[in-house]
Amino acid sequence: MAWLTSLLNRPATIDDERKASAQDTPGAAQPPPAASGPPLAILAPDIGGISSFRLRFFSDAATAATDVEQLPPEIRRGTHAFWALHDEPVVGPDGHREALVLIRANQTSGVFYAVSFVDMENAWSFARFEAKRGLDVSHLIILWAAFVTVREELDGVSLLPAAAPATRTQHDRTAERDAAALEATEAVREL
């Protein structure tokens, strides 16, 4: 990953600044919108390379689908979508989740490089390793990704699932509540 670190630490050139100023704001990374649930993130391919993306956050799947529809077809086909979560998502057999490290190309860029891992321990280990090699940790976003399928249909783009999954913490709390309710029900039956 030394090539990645050297790429990220290189100074911006005049061409980079021109490209950045030529990009319109829809491709720039934005902070997650204020919403009650987790944001839906869209990674749209960038011309910078096979693993470089523009990152956008949305509060719901319908708004994100509308944004993806407006992308050129060649970019739309390489788009990845996921629910950005702080806790590990609980996904069904058809779902897919990964720990994701997003590395911003430079402080002012909307370009990110994505590296995925099977668990958060490996993601943090990678981040620590790269930080020791000189990567500025302010360029990192580390999160759980519950992936969403981007489907092109006759009537437009759809994103499935359209709702964020429960997280391990939420799932554990629900299981505890259900166990307590079952215990209370059994206690009442014994009376």
Strand 97-104 and strand 40-45: the pairing is unpaired
Whether the Cβ atoms of residue 115 and residue 78 lie closer than 8 Å to each other: no
| Two tokens, residue 110 | 């909307």
Neighbouring C-beta atoms of residue 103, cutoff 10 Å: 25
pLDDT number for residue 179? 74
Residue type at 60 in one-letter notation: D
What integer pLDDT is reported at residue 184 of this predicted model?
A: 74
Interacting residues of 75 by C-beta distance below 8 A, sequence separation 6+: 44, 45
Going residue by residue through the chain (191 aa), what tens digit of pLDDT does each one get?
444 444 444 444 444 444 444 444 444 555 555 557 899 999 999 987 788 999 999 999 999 999 999 999 999 999 999 999 999 999 988 899 999 999 999 989 889 999 999 999 999 999 999 999 999 999 999 999 999 999 999 999 999 999 999 998 876 767 777 777 777 777 777 76
Domain ranges within the chain, ordered by starting residue: 2-164
* Whether residue 93 has a cis bond before it, omega within 30° of 0: no
Give this prediction's pTM: 0.72
Q: Which two tokens stand for residue 139?
A: 């360029």
3-class secondary-structure state, position 136: coil
